[in-house]
Amino acid sequence: MVLKVLDEADIIEDNLRYHRAQGVDSFVVTDTGSSDGTVEILERYQRAGIVRLERIGRSIQDMREGGQTAIARIAHETGADWVIHNDADEFWWPLTCNLKETLAAIPDRFGIVLAPRADFVVRPDGESSFADRLTVRERRFLRPPKTAHRAHPQVVTWGAHPIQLWVDTGHSPRRGMVGKPIRRTKAAHVEEHPLELVLAPTFPVGVLHFPFRSFEQYRRRAEIAIANEQLSEGNPVRTAYEGGRLEEIYARLTLDDDAVAGGIEEGWLVEDTAFRDCLRACPDPLAADAAGRAPSPCGEPGGPDSLPDLEADAMYALSRYLQAFAYKGSKEGRRKAARRAASGGN
Amino acid sequence: MTLLVRDAADILDANIRYHHAQGVDLFIVADNGSTDGSLDILQRYEREGIVRLERIEGSRREVWAAGRTRIARLAHELGADWVIHNDQDEFWWSLTGDVKETLAAIPDRYGLVVAPRTEFVARPGDDHFPERLIYREARFLHPPKAAHRTHPRIVLDHPHPTRIEVEKDDPSDPFSGRPGLSGGAASHSEQPDFDLVFAPTYPLRVLHFPIRGFTQYRERIELASKVGLLDSKDRQGIRAALEEGRLDELYADVALTDDDIRRGIDEGWLVEDTDFRDYLAACPESLDGPPPPGSRAWSEERRRRELEELEFDAMYAITRYVRRRGTRERQAADKVRRQEQRARRQPREDESGARWRPRARLPRPVRRLTGALRRRSNGRS
């Protein structure tokens, strides 16, 4: 599993503990400038041989420009069979058995698993941990999906989403399939080079995302987003931050019990305590008797029974990616047609 | 089923008879100026009540997208449940019965089926194509085709899965990514108006017979030349052969000899496939005759194996599309970032109206000299 972190002290240990119990052998972690104790936590796990801490990029931008590729390739060098691109606030939830077994069961000819993602909604602040307070999530996994892929020495990636990845085999990734028979002048074999890392047709893992866990943590996220120029001028969050009114935005994002009950009634929210219970049962990997694994989700909501729903959400994501393509294509097509008409040519 | 045809007399009858046997009820055919007897065939089937003939005038380029969209919407108006976007030289083969029952078995929540495509290779000779063309590429790696549920607002410029969409008022935001950083209140990420989700199963494949004999090849090249499809640089060779009357030489190169076929089968990229030939030969002359069994006659073991292979080829195509879209998106993002960086380097005006520059300017003669040197070195390189 590869992780890039920036001020994640409130959640990073739970993340390591949970995924360790799911069968993840090692974590390649890159820190982009934490100041809240995250690095100290990671160093403890590094001493235990669980984490390999890398200092690759100094910023989110560095990660995009080669950093993400670098950690994915380090994972390959360390002998990993699969690379899971993760964030500190995301938990990979396999529907049938544990994560390691799930990935091991993917047939050899496929190399990428697309994992649909759902958000847990923001709930009022409190003393207890995020997992205890945040037990309501969106029913469907319609957020941009995440990726796990077989480790590969030539992988190129600039993010953690399935469309942000290709394998550098010296051929343009934009090279498509061979169409247009009329162009041919020879009886040649037209099959393309073998395509590395083909998407798997099954979708056995969902990603549980806990983006906002307390106001303090939300404020820090907004700060980071502004510092990295992710929020342009005039963005309401940036305006509120600069005007000292970020609490108002956070209050609007927070769902109280009534809002939660309403969302469940409308069908777009569900209560999900299976993750909380699972996390509680995961052993501390630094403890002397660290052997143990996450309980199987069988019999839980979000267990094997929800495979068809997760499949539908994954196909939704793929369709969205490709139909946004159609939209752009048809826009370009219309523009070209207009240009042709304007020039009077045909 | 929708078809956009021009001069397809050698194959049109086979196409309609074949797909009628596969359960297709209605063919909406847009004819773009055929002069070779295609219209006679279409009018005959129109009288039988299974063809609806539309005539679309204008150059191929103009009618391509608009014509496809028009006939796809017409399919909805005429009460069809699924639209299969087809070409005259393509035959949809179901691995699980016939095409109609296969589409009927797609769960309601899915609206589009990706159908991987293969090609039957060109062979010497000029007689009826199904008996001669019995070797095809083993894998289905040509751009796939699509069938989808009918929709009143469908838009497409090409019958490939990534070129079909439902017209929407705000199609720009495919996902709600960044939660909470857009300033909105807690809300839904779901977009209920999203139609035509790709089905996760791949029970249909498309058999493509692009080059069927020398006569058809010559006619096709001549037509392509007439509508300007041979103007681009990579087709100069074909154009020259046409102008110099050497098309037969070119065809001899394009067609595979018996030796080529043997080698291709040994190397594993070609296979013999007589299923289609036999199916077509068994299609009844009269439209209400009993259809041949097709893949129903397959053993369950064979069906499972072929479905598995087709699924891999479908995922190959989808992966290629996804990757192409991703790299394209990245290039666009990089371009924007470079522009922003450039804009930041440009001199800005401060509040007093004075120009602000990151570096002190060199005196004018020095600037002139360095500028000239730079231009010279650029000119040399």
B121 and A187 within 8 Å at the Cβ level: the answer is yes
Could you tell me which residue, A277 or B359, shows the higher pLDDT?
A: A277
User: How many domains is chain B partitioned into structurally?
Assistant: 2
* B229 and B151 housed in the same domain: no
pLDDT at A203: 96
Mutate to test the interface with A, among B189, B191, B244, B246 (most CBs of A within 10 A): B189
Task: Using CA atoms of B157, B50, B81, B140 in order, give the dihedral in degrees to the nearest 10.
Answer: -60
Residue A38 included in any domain: yes
In this prediction, residue A258 has a pLDDT band, given cuts at 50, 70 and 90, of very high
Mutate to test the interface with B, among A207, A239, A318, A323 (most CBs of B within 10 A): A323
* B131 and B279 housed in the same domain: yes
pLDDT at A197: 87
* B236 and B304 housed in the same domain: no
A177 and B121 within 8 Å at the Cβ level: the answer is no
Nearest-neighbour CA in chain A from B200: distance (Å):
7
pLDDT at A157: 80
Parent domain of A278? 2-174+193-213+272-343
pLDDT at B279: 96
B264 and A192 within 8 Å at the Cβ level: the answer is no
Average pLDDT over residues A204-232: 90
B residues 339-378 closer than 8 Å to A (CB): none
A323 and B322 within 8 Å at the Cβ level: the answer is no
pLDDT at A342: 64
Tell whether B62 lies on the interface with A, counting CB pairs under 8 A: yes
Average pLDDT over residues A40-61: 86
Name the closest residue on chain A to residue B136, using Cα atoms.
A189
* B17 and B83 housed in the same domain: yes
Closest residue to A212, CB basis, from B180, B197, B318: B180
Residue B364 included in any domain: no
Average pLDDT over residues A15-37: 92
User: In whole angstroms, how far apart are CA A133 and each of A12, A68, A125, A138, A211?
Assistant: 17, 32, 8, 15, 13
* B16 and B137 housed in the same domain: yes
Residue B283 included in any domain: yes
Nearest-neighbour CA in chain B from A269: distance (Å):
9
Tell whether A329 lies on the interface with B, counting CB pairs under 8 A: yes
Determine what percent of chain A is predicted with pLDDT higher than 90: 49
Query: Residue A159 pLDDT > 50, yes or no?
Result: yes
Parent domain of B32? 2-167+194-212+271-332
Instruction: Match 């069994």 to its residue by tokens.
Output: B293
Residue B125 included in any domain: yes
The angle formed by the CA atoms of residues B216, B221 and B227, to the nearest 5 degrees, is 125
Give average pLDDT by consecutive 10-residue segment, chain B, 381 residues.
90 95 95 90 94 86 77 91 93 96 95 93 90 93 90 78 64 47 53 72 96 91 84 82 90 90 91 96 86 95 97 90 77 78 64 47 67 62 39
Q: Is B272 exposed, middle or buried (0-12, 13-18, 19+ CB in 10 A)?
A: exposed
Tell whether B197 lies on the interface with A, counting CB pairs under 8 A: yes
* B275 and B226 housed in the same domain: no
Residue B288 included in any domain: yes
Query: Residue A209 pLDDT > 90, yes or no?
Result: yes
A346 and B319 within 8 Å at the Cβ level: the answer is no
Count of pairs with CB atoms under 8 A, one residue in A, one in B: 232
User: In whole angstroms, how far apart are CA A281 and each of A14, A93, A213, A284, B236?
Assistant: 11, 15, 21, 9, 69
Q: What is the CATH number of the domain that holds B316?
A: 3.90.550
Residues of A in contact with B188 (CB under 8 A): 138, 268
* B277 and B244 housed in the same domain: no
Nearest-neighbour CA in chain A from B162: distance (Å):
5
Residues of B in contact with A228 (CB under 8 A): none
Q: What is the 3-state secondary structure (H, E, C) of A282-296?
A: CCCCCCCCCCCCCCC
Residue A233 included in any domain: no
Query: Residue A115 pLDDT > 70, yes or no?
Result: yes
Q: Which amino acid is at B214?
A: F
Residue B345 included in any domain: no
Residues of A in contact with B317 (CB under 8 A): 177
Residue A298 included in any domain: yes
* Strand segments (E) across chain A: 2-5, 27-31, 51-54, 82-87, 90-94, 112-119, 136-138, 143-150, 155-157, 165-167, 205-209, 269-271
* CA count, 13 A, side-chain hemisphere, B90: 24
Query: Residue A158 pLDDT > 70, yes or no?
Result: yes
Average pLDDT over residues A117-130: 92
- Burial string for B20-46 (b: 16+ CB within 10 Å, else e) reads bbbbbebbbbbbbbbeeebbebbeebe
* B202 and B132 housed in the same domain: yes
* B16 and B141 housed in the same domain: yes
Count helices and strands (H / E) in chain A.
12, 12
The distance of Cα A79 from the centroid of its chain, to the nearest Å, equals 22
Residues of A in contact with B327 (CB under 8 A): 166, 173-174
Tell whether B165 lies on the interface with A, counting CB pairs under 8 A: yes
Residue A33 included in any domain: yes
User: In whole angstroms, how far apart are CA B338 and each of A68, A165, B328, B344?
Assistant: 20, 21, 16, 10
pLDDT at A346: 39
Average pLDDT over residues A216-230: 88
Asked if B292 and B278 touch (Cβ cutoff 8 Å), the reply is: yes
Residue B176 included in any domain: no
Average pLDDT over residues A73-95: 93
Among A55-69, A243-257, B63-77, B278-292, the least confident range: A55-69
User: How many domains is chain A partitioned into structurally?
Assistant: 1
Q: Which amino acid is at B53?
A: L
Could you tell me which residue, A323 or A202, shows the higher pLDDT?
A: A202
B residues 19-38 closer than 8 Å to A (CB): none
Residues of B in contact with A316 (CB under 8 A): 194, 197
Among A2-16, A300-314, B54-68, B136-150, the least confident range: B54-68
pLDDT at A337: 59
Last-in-domain residue among B332, B351, B366:
B332
Q: Which amino acid is at A112?
A: I
CB within 8 Å of B326: residues ≥ 6 apart: A161, A162, A163, A164, A165, A166, A173
Residue A13 included in any domain: yes
* B125 and B24 housed in the same domain: yes
Distance separating the N- and C-terminal Cα atoms of chain A: 54
Average pLDDT over residues A7-15: 94
* B202 and B222 housed in the same domain: no
Asked if A199 and A162 touch (Cβ cutoff 8 Å), the reply is: yes
* B126 and B68 housed in the same domain: yes
Residue B260 included in any domain: no
Query: Residue A53 pLDDT > 60, yes or no?
Result: yes
Last-in-domain residue among B310, B332, B354:
B332
Average pLDDT over residues A222-250: 88
What span, in angstroms and rounded, lies between the C-alpha atoms of A280 and B70?
58
Nearest-neighbour CA in chain A from B257: distance (Å):
9
Residues of A in contact with B199 (CB under 8 A): 315
Is this structure's pTM higher than 0.90?
no
pLDDT at B49: 93
A residues 90-149 closer than 8 Å to B (CB): 109-110, 112, 119, 121-122, 138, 140, 142-144
